[in-house]
Structure 1
Amino acid sequence: MSKSIQIPDCYYPKEPALVTPSGQTPDHTIYLSNLDDQIFLRFSIKYLYLFKRRVGVESLKASLSKVLTVYYPLAGRLKASSENGEKLELDCNSEGALFAEACVSISVDQFLEASERPNISWRKLLYRVEAESFISIPPLVIQVTHLGCGGMILCTAISHCLCDGIGTAQFLQAWAHITTKPDTTLPIYPFHGRHMLKPRNPTKVTSSHPEFTYPASQEHISVLSQFLQCQQLVPVSATFTSSQILKIKKLCIPSLKCTSFEALAAHVWRSWAMALDLPPSLQVKLLFSVNARNKLKPGLPRGFYGNGFVLACAESLVDQLVSTNGHYSVKLIKEAKESVSDEKVRSVIDLLEKRKGKPDLSASLVISQWSKLGLEDLDFGEGRAHHMGPLASEIYCIFFPVIGDFYGFTVLMSVPEKAAAKFEQVLKVY
């Protein structure tokens, strides 16, 4: 198994503080679209960055205060809608983002030597907000942790109800830009209106949505659920270089033109089914996000700041998935991706208006794509990050970037302990 560093307790020299926008911001309530307000998005996306040289905390706070004038929703608070208690909306009240400063007795090199997969101790690197519910937590929480060697770790938690990975990268790049070039304009300004994603009147569910459809038979599903719940989950991590991904593509016979994501997603999906030793007759799904910004007609404005993705769903019997080569699974993934159109997106929005559906996770692998978003290029003036990744390993799978290899991917997910060694082994067969 890959290495993981244990983080000692952090020392907080002062109480965390709220950083508010430096300028005047609109005082209004923002409508959250049905894509924002999905139940499964009611959590914060947590990122970890490791820098060899620290940036002054006062400088980071000042630039954060300035960028929050433009990205003012991140300084607001989520609340239940007055019209519908089940729906959330955003109160842009400029209450502020929570900023914590800490120190810990590790070095950059120590972290890099054992940073292939997170463990529970990494959670110490992000200040824990004591709150009654998710909506009581500030949409943006930041911790800067000073390392003994002069480096720093930056951890951020951004509410998924407010934005997706594209929006997260857009905000972080804007913050870094203002830190390094305080007197220049931003390359991209956020567009906060979400009215383009309102449901139709009357609503029309015109497409099939297997991502929200639960199977009629629960027999195999209960077996899988018991298998997943009765064992401790452990993280498995594997890094794929561009040359290794090319080898995976060559296993697709007859050859099929595909992206690196499609090839690797197919490989991970098959490896997951093999490692869990799932029943051959079980129908399994692969769920992954597809950017809908340019699928809509008209497309969403440049800088659109909200969730602009829908889930695509590929389905297969386990027997077919594991007994065939990559061609079969890659083709399923390509077809699922190509099925996302303007009408499909509108149909999802209308479906979510009719009922608060949750994705079918009963026998599904979910892949979240963090690569190719610019997340790894963050530079606050003292050099780019030497490590970028999640703060924790979840049961869903993350593809995150490899520092120094634009075409590489690191795969991270948690699987039952008995399946971990086999999953790691099968991932390396290409």
Structure 2
Amino acid sequence: MVVVGRMGQGEGEAMVKSIEIPECRYAGEPTLVRPRSNPPRHALYLSNLDDQKFLRFSIKYLYLFKRSVSAESLRASLARVLEDYYPLAGRLRGCGGEAGDAAAEDKLVVDCNGEGAVFAEASVDLTVEEFVEASARPNRSWRKLLYRVDAQSFVGVPPLVVQVTNLSCGGMILCVSFSHCLCDGVGTAQFLHAWAHCTAKPGAEQLPVSPFHSRRMLRPHCSPSVAFPHSEFATPAPQENPSAGYLSQLLQSQPLVPVCVTFRPAEVLQLKRNCVPSLKCTSFEALAAHVWRAWVRCLDPPPVLRVKLLFSINVRKQMCPPLPAGFYGNGFVLGCAETTAGQLVSGTNPRAAVKLVQAAKKRVDDGYVRSMVDLLEERRGTRPDLSASLVISQWSKLGLEEVDFGEGVPLHMGPMTSEIYCLFLPVVGDLHAFTVLVSVPEAVASKFEYCMKDVWEREGEEDGMRDYERVEMGI
């Protein structure tokens, strides 16, 4: 297991220093890359899964490549792939109004006007080796590697923004920002592979997967019918969950620092073995339950506090009929596991937590998804309950780390920043490994690292925690 320490640790502690990115030198003003031919001009309907308020942000990927690809080649291939993915060259707007009008932005559509994706080219005094040495944990300076578009609101930001940064050693960092309202992780991976394919094979006319644009199959019923309870959106009343504000206050009371732990196949297998023979589970189920328990243990909320685990579930195949091949819109919903903090962390066996994760996955079918779409229609603007929730977004198993623009797969692939929600990231070169990245309050970061890496290696969690506390107090 690889553990990456936090900024500011002493020399005797396991750590990887976070690298500060120097200022980028831009080759000129960013350009707009338009589709190679005129795209169909229309307004693309966004489903209620696309148009959720909590998805009004951009998914930002950072890739590090040993050898650079010319900006001219990347522009040309981007123009080619935008012929097929023309909505990404359009602009978001509110129905019946201009971008920036809060009332108009209540419901969004994509104006497929071919205005173009933003493309910036820069250089920086940094080598591949320098970045690799400290690439496990992002920091705020990494934001320099993506051109910032000035806009009054999220709606004013183009759906696709790209920056290619040439390194002093001949390598390249590629940062890509996608509007989450247009596509999810599966969709972004599909687009990146298409772009890489067109770059590596100039003149290629056929994409690996043809994109499917329409989201009409996810439209709500004429008379919305919410047939299922959706606890992922339900905020308990204060009298039902009197300690509900505890975690929110803790998370806002001090700086958050990223903690990153890589689970190699042997550790993942150990997590799964803790559940057999009475319970069989997937790698995701075992790891999600483990991270959830570690997160709650380190935050140490009152035992009566109801805590939730929210995690993305790809529903493309759960729908009846399944969503069409090439669908790149938001085809996921949030699964929700829920219990009290005391019940979640009690005892040494993770089976109960794994069962909660499995039950949350099992209840998501076509009827459940359509009930959620109708709920979002009835209660426009509703958001997931994040008051005492850990949110997991799974970037692994999407093939994001296999994107090859013709000069080899990346040496590093990950997010530009670390957020309060948790990412399960792929590990380049190891299909069965996971990197877990999440930001936690600075005061509990060491405890969270401990719970993540050691809790399953102890004969008893309580004995292990007492050992940890003795070390922390210098006993």
Measured against the shorter chain, the TM-score band is: over 0.9
Cross-structure match for 1:120:
140
Is residue 188 of structure 1 aligned with residue 209 of structure 2?
yes
Contact 1:48/1:154 (8 A) holds in 2: yes
For 2:385 and 2:128, locate their aligned partners in 1 and report how far apart those are by CA, in whole Å: 40
1:352 is matched with 376
Shift of 1:250: 1.6
Deviation at 1:34, TM superposition (A): 0.2
Deviation at 1:237, TM superposition (A): 0.4
Instruction: Write out per-residue CA displacement over residues 392-425 of structure 1, whole angstroms, 9 at most, x where no aligned residue.
Output: 0000000010001001000001101111110011
Contact persistence 2:19–2:134 (CA under 8 A) = yes
How far 1:193 sits from its partner (Å)? 0.7
Counterpart of 1:136 in structure 2 is 156
Matches within 5 A, 1:8-19: 8-19=22-33
Tell me, in whole angstroms, the C-alpha distance in 2 between the residues paired with 1:342 and 1:40: 22
CA distance in 2, matches of 1:395, 1:413: 6
Cα deviation, 1:156-210, whole Å, max 9, x if unaligned, reads: 0000000000000000000000111233311210000111000012111000100
Aligned counterpart, 1:214: 235
Question: What TM-score, normalized to structure 2?
Answer: 0.89
How many angstroms does 1:226 deviate by? 1.2
Per the TM alignment, residue 253 of structure 1 is displaced from its structure 2 partner at its CA by 5.5
Select 2:340's aligned residue among 317, 320, 328: 317
| Mapped pair 1:384 → 2:384 | no
Q: Which secondary structure state, in structure 1, belongs to the residue aligned with residue 377 of structure 2?
A: helix
Paired AA for residue 164 in structure 2 = V
The answer to whether residue 109 in structure 2 is matched with residue 89 in structure 1 is yes
Q: Distance in 2 between matches of 1:308 and 1:148?
A: 40
**Partners in 1 of 2:276 and 2:407 — Cα distance?**
47
Checking the alignment, whether the CA contact within 8 Å between 1:253 and 1:326 is kept in structure 2 is: no
Aligned to 1:268: 291
The answer to whether the aligner puts 1:334 opposite 2:358 as a matched pair is yes
More moved, 220-229 vs 197-206 = 220-229
Confirm or deny that 1:203 pairs with 2:217: no
Distance 1:369 1:69 in 2: 29
Residue 461 (structure 2) aligns with? none
CA distance in 2, matches of 1:181, 1:287: 40
Does the residue aligned with 1:296 lie in a helix, a strand or coil? coil
| 1:38 has 2:58 as partner | no
CA distance in 2, matches of 1:48, 1:326: 34
Structure 2 residue 273 is matched with structure 1 residue 250:
yes
Match for residue 372 of structure 1 among 397, 402, 406: 397
- 1:217-266 per-residue CA deviation (whole Å, 9 max, x = no partner) reads 25312222111111011110000111110111122255421111111000
For residues 255 and 169 of structure 2, what CA distance do their matches in structure 1 show? 35
Alignment of 1:224-243 (within 5 A): 224-243=247-266
Q: Which amino acid aligns with 2:431?
A: F
Measure how far apart 1:305 and its partner are: 2.1
Instruction: Provide the residue aligned with 1:179 in structure 2.
Output: 199
SS of equivalent residue, structure 1 residue 414? strand
How far apart are the structure 2 equivalents of 1:288 and 1:295?
16
The worse-fitting range, judged by mean Cα deviation, of 220-229 and 52-61 is: 220-229
Runs of 4+ in 1 over 4 A off after TM superposition: none
Amino acid in the other structure paired with 1:388: M
Q: 1:70 aligned to 2:93?
A: no
Distance, in Å, in 2 between the alignment partners of 1:255 and 1:383 is 44
How far off its partner does 1:5 sit? Answer: 1.1
User: What secondary structure, in the 3-state scheme, does the structure 1 residue paired with 2:60 have?
Assistant: strand
Asked whether the equivalents of residues 254 and 327 of structure 1 are also in contact (C-alpha less than 8 Å), the reply is no
Partner in structure 1 of residue 188 of structure 2:
168
Q: Structure 1 CA distance, aligned partners of 2:321 and 2:152?
A: 40
**Which of 47, 50, 69 is the matching residue for 1:55?**
69
Query: Contact between 1:197 and 1:349, CA under 8 Å: does it hold in 2?
Result: yes
Note if contact 2:275-2:281 (Cα within 8 Å) is conserved in structure 1.
no
Asked if the contact 2:63/2:174 (under 8 Å) is kept, the reply is yes
Query: What SS does the corresponding residue of 2:232 show, helix, strand or coil?
Result: helix
Q: Is 1:20 equivalent to 2:34 in the alignment?
A: yes
Query: Which moved further from structure 2: 363-372 or 251-260?
Result: 251-260
Deviations 1:81-128 (A, max 9, x none): 129821011000000000011111111111111111001111111111
Q: How far 1:385 sits from its partner (Å)?
A: 0.3
Shift of 1:389: 0.3
For residue 220 of structure 1, give the secondary structure of its aligned residue in structure 2: coil
Cα RMSD of the aligned pairs, angstroms, is 1.1
